[in-house]
Structure 1
Amino acid sequence: MPAATNGQAFLLNPNAPEGPTRFPQARSISANSRTIYISGIASILPDGTVAGNEEGQVPDVRKQTMTILNTIDDIIKGASDGEGGIHNLIDAVVYLTEMERDYSGMNEEWNKVFASRMVAPARATIGVKDLPDPRFVVEIKGVAVISE
């Protein structure tokens, strides 16, 4: 099976059904690559507003997640001179302030970008008390590799 743009997926049980959560247990890459480390990214828009944060409403984790994934795609494209994008992500950490409320919504948006465990990065999802701004309910950091 050929490697995806983010290296080779390792699945402890490759015959297990995909299920609602898509990520492999690990990803491996060759030595001929460039690594991009992405800082924790929140859903801040270019105009300084926060996506998914309507006054008087519960923040929308789906909008925030999609905004973050789009921003990470832009970061990887920019840092790689257009050679890579979100599908070069090999590892990600997702921070949620309300795990019980927001995990499934975050995961639904994640699965729109990553269609299977074979192409998704390795991932950890961690519940946290706070993020730097009370309008944020999700933050994602990651590592991408670009083949040279």
Structure 2
Amino acid sequence: MAIQRLHTETRYSEAVIHNGTVYLSGQLADDLSGDVVQQTRDTLAAIDRLLAEAGSDKRQLLSATLYLQDIDRDYAGMNEVWDAWLAPGTAPARTTVQAQLYSPDVRVEITLVAAQL
């Protein structure tokens, strides 16, 4: 089966699709000026768009890794948005870690793996 890549840059593709599985690269908010709640909302909206383009949606999530710049400060706010976004009964396997992200303005980055519809 062929590998399909979406929005490929020099170093990465935003999404890679293979054998009915969608792999998303780390997704960020477009506007990095807000708090973790705003950034998480923006990031999840970007994920919704990218999953749709890849032939999937948030109900098909298999795995998620969430990176927080400051887990003590931002874990509750991120979870508030994440919990409201997830479709009931579709929680993926998930890991949340604190990480030094590429810019001090980035509060949250999310990578996902999902099944295609």
TM-score range, shorter chain: 0.7 to 0.9
| Percent identity (aligned) | 37
Whichever of the two has the greater Rg, that structure is 1
Q: Aligned-residue CA RMSD in angstroms?
A: 1.5
The number of residue pairs the alignment matches comes to 99
Is 1:111 aligned with 2:101?
Answer: no
The 1:105–1:76 alpha-carbon spacing in structure 2 relative to 1, beyond 3 Å, is same
For structure 1, the 5+ residue unaligned runs are: 1-32, 45-49, 54-58
* Aligned residue number for residue 43 of structure 1: 29
Cα distance in 1 between the residues matched to 2:69 and 2:60:
26
Matches within 5 A, 1:82-93: 84-93=56-65
Alignment TM-score, normalising by the size of structure 2? 0.78
Question: Which structure would you say has the larger RCO, counting Cα contacts within 8 Å and 6 or more residues apart?
Answer: 1
Q: Deviations over 1:46-69 (max 9, x none)?
A: xxxx24x1xxxxx41011111111
Question: What secondary structure, in the 3-state scheme, does the structure 1 residue paired with 2:106 have?
Answer: coil
* Aligned residue number for residue 68 of structure 1: 43
Q: Kindly indicate which of the two structures has a greater share of residues assigned to strand.
A: 2
Query: Runs ≥4 in structure 1, deviation > 6 angstroms?
Result: none
Q: Kindly indicate which of the two structures has a greater share of residues assigned to helix.
A: 2
Cα distance in 2 between the residues matched to 1:115 and 1:89:
10
For structure 2, the 5+ residue unaligned runs are: 1-18
